[in-house]
Amino acid sequence: MQLPLDRTSDLPLRTQISAAIRERIESGEFASGARLPSSRELADRLGVNRTTVVESYQDLRRDGFIESGVGRGTFVLERATTRASSRGSSRAQKRRNGASHAPHVSLPPHAGFHWSRWLSRVRPLPKVHLAQHADGHDARVSLSRAVGHPDLFPVERITAALTRVFAQGGRSLLEYPSPAGYEPLRQTLRARLKRQGVAVERGELVIVSGSQQGLDLVARLLLADGGTVVTSRPSFSGALDVFRWHRAALVGVPYDQEGFEPAALDRVLSVGGNHLIYAIPDRHNPTGLTMSEAGRERLVAAAQSHRAAILEDDWLAELSAPGEPAPLKARDATDQVLYLGTFSKVLAPGLRIGWLMVPNELFEPLLSLKKTCDNGTNLPAQAVVNELLASGSLDDHVKGLRRELERRRAKVDAAIDAHFPSEARPRRPHSGMVTWIDLPRGSDVNRIVAEAARVGVEITPGAPFDPAGGTLDGFRLSYATAAEKELEPALEQLGRVLKQVLRGDGSATARPLV
């Protein structure tokens, strides 16, 4: 079986293979009952990873085109060719009659137009929750989103910086930007990273539209042909969504303040194939924990030993204080670490400015890929961030933000101690924006989330953070999203919900926040 594969396409090989086989089945070229090559045989013929073929067969099997059996092989289903036979014969008749070779699209019997026929059935999409009233205002106190409350955005500083950069740059800031980013901002960031001990001369910086685009670009660049992402369990849901979209195999490894569990990590990395380790060593999302020095050394050593790549997500890099551990990238002597950061959390998410540092070998391919995505990141926003950095205004803002977040964290710890049952155990990070609440095994987390929402408190359940796609006995709390005055009342209500659900304590029934 020879299938046309375009290895320069953004379309993953898994999708190309399944689409090519599906086309041959629908045209009648692969007849009902025809035996397909084994996954190993086809992978060898096509020169791809066997996992890619296995996943393609899974897609076809789910869509009803083939069937497989242990020891029997893989065969074309009769109903698949029957469904396609009329189309195949029609095409053949047209060819005999000299008709056009334009592709034929058959309509369903009720002849309606349905966008669902265009959507990829093999691409998992995350759910988007819009918990708002009709007037557009959310009535709940949000303890769920890992981003600052609007009161924490430095509006005056951003406004002043915007005025200055347009006075200086004028019309040039409204032209198409370079895919690599605004050069003054790249230079400013290089200097900052160098002060952190990062060997900037061995890598290149690309300005991205927030760290979420950085995650997507890395996945497109490194995982299009398959691969395995090794991450913590739990891990950042936004990254898991991206990796799932690109059909990477996800493996979760137990994780605490010492980092990845060494034995489990070694077992995973010992399996053949390409492994990308997704790590958030500082103020881990969703637990808030910061990895110890020893854990960082073990992680970098494990990656070097197994020739694995690391994607380090330093989402709160600007909150780092003197004396804290250096990023993994500062220990990267073999150029195996990609380093990702963002200004969304310390400035404002609407600016959509982040950065991605890659080894020189990946710089040109990354730029080519980014150009196909957006032709460059918002140039005025880049200039504003550079002005805030170069003038010292951002550093002044971050000093105040650290104090504000520390005050909030102390309030949350006190409220948890005062109102939560002992069964709900917080991880207690030293800084950042989020913390994780561990619950007893088998807890009804969905009920806790629903009851909390009923009384006006929004939290995030553990399930979205599970790379295994299951459930986790816990939930994430953000102490940055709500107004400070709302924190203690909301946590008191949440404590009542926890007592009600975990202990069946009817006297603790919470009432909606007013």
CATH 3.40.640.10: does it fit domain 158-391?
A: yes
* Domain boundaries, given as residue ranges, for the chain: 13-117, 141-150+395-508, 158-391
pLDDT band at 23 (very low <50, low <70, confident <90, very high): confident
Query: Up-side HSE of residue 430: CA atoms within 13 Å toward CB?
Result: 9
| pLDDT in the model for residue 329 | 96
| pLDDT in the model for residue 107 | 41
Residue range 165-176: average pLDDT?
92
| pLDDT in the model for residue 391 | 96
Residues 62, 84, 93: CA angle, nearest 5 degrees = 160
Query: Does 136 have pLDDT greater than 60?
Result: no
| pLDDT in the model for residue 128 | 67
CA 304/CA 492 separation, integer angstroms: 47
Asked if residue 208 lies in contact with residue 377, where contact means CB atoms within 8 angstroms, the answer is yes
Between 49 and 438, name the one with better pLDDT: 438
For the ranges 236-240, 282-286, 506-510, which has the lowest average pLDDT? Answer: 506-510
| Cα 143 versus chain centre, distance | 20
| pLDDT in the model for residue 113 | 72
Residue range 464-470: average pLDDT?
91
- For residues 356, 339, 52 and 260, what is the CA-based torsion angle, rounded to 10 degrees? -150
| pLDDT in the model for residue 155 | 96
328-364 pLDDT, tens digit per residue, is 999 999 999 999 999 999 999 999 999 999 999 999 9
| pLDDT in the model for residue 44 | 79
Q: Evaluate the omega torsion of the peptide bond into residue 177 and state whether it is cis, within 30 degrees of 0.
A: no
Domains 13-117 and 158-391 belong to one CATH topology: no
Other C-beta atoms closer than 10 Å to the C-beta of 380 total: 16
Q: What is the architecture, at CATH level 2, of domain 141-150+395-508?
A: Alpha-Beta Complex (3.90)
| pLDDT in the model for residue 162 | 96
107-119 pLDDT, tens digit per residue, is 444 446 767 666 6
- Here the contacts of 45-51 (C-beta below 8 Å, separation 24 or greater) are 45/1, 45/2, 46/3, 46/5, 46/13, 46/17, 48/5, 48/13, 48/17, 48/225, 48/226, 49/225, 49/226, 49/227, 49/273, 51/226, 51/249, 51/273
Asked if residue 204 lies in contact with residue 405, where contact means CB atoms within 8 angstroms, the answer is no
For the ranges 9-23, 196-210, 374-388, which has the lowest average pLDDT? Answer: 9-23
35-67 pLDDT, tens digit per residue, is 898 888 888 788 888 889 999 999 898 888 898
Q: What is the pTM of this model?
A: 0.77
* Burial track 488-512 (b if 16+ CB lie within 10 A, e otherwise): ebbbbbbbbbbbbbbeeeeebebee
Percent of the chain, pLDDT > 90? 65
pLDDT band at 475 (very low <50, low <70, confident <90, very high): very high
CATH 1.25.40.10: does it fit domain 13-117?
A: no
